[in-house]
Structure 1
């Protein structure tokens, strides 16, 4: 059944400066305003959006706070260089080569900034319901949790919380609060649990308090949340990871070969 459109449910209830910022943000993220491009002048934006000078300045300040543009009062506002990054999640699913770093670090470094990880927590915990279902855990069941933040330069890029069946993790380096050379995919492969299938579920969400703080977000813009479940032989789930990144700074690219 089609829901009729009415003035009540069709109107954009956001403040005008938020609507202006939203339109400009979309043009930046889609490439219409590329890195280094000058935004339209304040006079042009006032005419385009039928807005006051103060409203336009509030919209531009939102984009500055989000790290999308730079500029000062009385000068042209320009799109920051290399702000939107394209990540290819499939490229860091496989275990790293012997002696090589975690694949995310290798792939992320291609964006030109030094990539590193900071381990935040290692503990047995009751996972979120969707993770419990993915790992076939009973109600109230626990898993080993490893939480880390991945950084490009000094900028938090992704909050990663991974869960592993306790019977797999127990007695291994995964239980220790330290980084694992090559990452857990490499260790799991060494233990005989090679990845055979990875399934990603991606959604856009309002950030939680933890995500907001860890990623140093400027506002409650949506984050991209990926739930990745990795299966080994006999369709056994060996890892479920929740990866969260700022929606206004990153896009995900997947490549498929037609059958």
Structure 2
């Protein structure tokens, strides 16, 4: 009697259906499987990944939960139009022209999307440690927080927490519980602190409970966390923002020119 050889254990500790979903997700996001096309058949995926029907269906359900594909049991599963959006951070730093909305809203509108923001919190708060460090605050130091969530086509896509030095913010519209026409870059410029340099530190992280709920994440996919530091004249830090984006919805585009 021949004893079948045991399959070598994978160094990837995720369950098989999660690994299958990860490979298919990458092919969808890279355009290898373009929008409007059907995913390979269940029989093909079973053979490709050496998986059972139930395991393949669990993988497909993950992609459906993430709204990357649509379909029902027994029918072809189709890739949705790409929801992934390209962000160009430099395009949001300059103040908006008179009468224009915040540049993030204008950029979304130009791409044909419906965008809006909801203000969540305004007040003097103790920032996270990395924000305190940038602002030069002691452990119990305070800054003005303006927190909001951004929506595209009705879907929450970004949690934004902006902190301002109190000597800049106090007595200005930054402390008001209403949206700022043209966004903070416009107001800061009007206050005599025009944005001159923005520095981003981007990391991929597992979402916190608050981030998971605020962004209505379908699974435990990573989020993109950006720590954005905005400088004015004489390298004065005028704004520090923590931006958290759903990782499966965004890619970042940075443009460079040779020095």
The TM-score range, normalised by the shorter chain, is: over 0.9
Does residue 157 (structure 1) correspond to residue 149 (structure 2)? The answer is no
TM-superposed deviation, 1:138:
2.1
Moved more, 109-118 or 44-53: 109-118
Does residue 126 (structure 1) correspond to residue 126 (structure 2)? The answer is yes
Partners in 2 of 1:99 and 1:169 — Cα distance?
22
Contact 2:29/2:82 (8 A) holds in 1? no
Partners in 1 of 2:83 and 2:35 — Cα distance?
8
* Equivalent residue runs for 1:1-259 within 5 Å: 11-259=11-259
Between the two proteins, the alignment pairs up a number of residues equal to 252
TM-superposed deviation, 1:219:
1.2
TM-superposed deviation, 1:111:
3.1
Partners in 2 of 1:71 and 1:232 — Cα distance?
51
Contact 1:85/1:111 (8 A) holds in 2? no
Residues 123-172 of structure 1, C-alpha deviations (whole Å, 9 max, x = no match): 11010011111111122110000000011111011110000001100000
TM-superposed deviation, 1:108:
1.9
Question: Which 4+ runs in 1 deviate beyond 6 A?
Answer: none
Gaps of 5+ in 1: 1-6
Alpha-carbon RMSD: 1.2
TM-superposed deviation, 1:87:
1.3
Partners in 1 of 2:109 and 2:61 — Cα distance?
29
Partners in 2 of 1:113 and 1:11 — Cα distance?
41
TM-score, length basis structure 1: 0.95
Gaps of 5+ in 2: 1-7
Residues 205-250 of structure 1, C-alpha deviations (whole Å, 9 max, x = no match): 0001111011000111100001100000111100000111111111
Partners in 1 of 2:109 and 2:156 — Cα distance?
14
Contact 1:87/1:108 (8 A) holds in 2? no
Residues 94-122 of structure 1, C-alpha deviations (whole Å, 9 max, x = no match): 11111110001111223322111110110
What's 2:4 paired with? none
Partners in 1 of 2:98 and 2:34 — Cα distance?
39
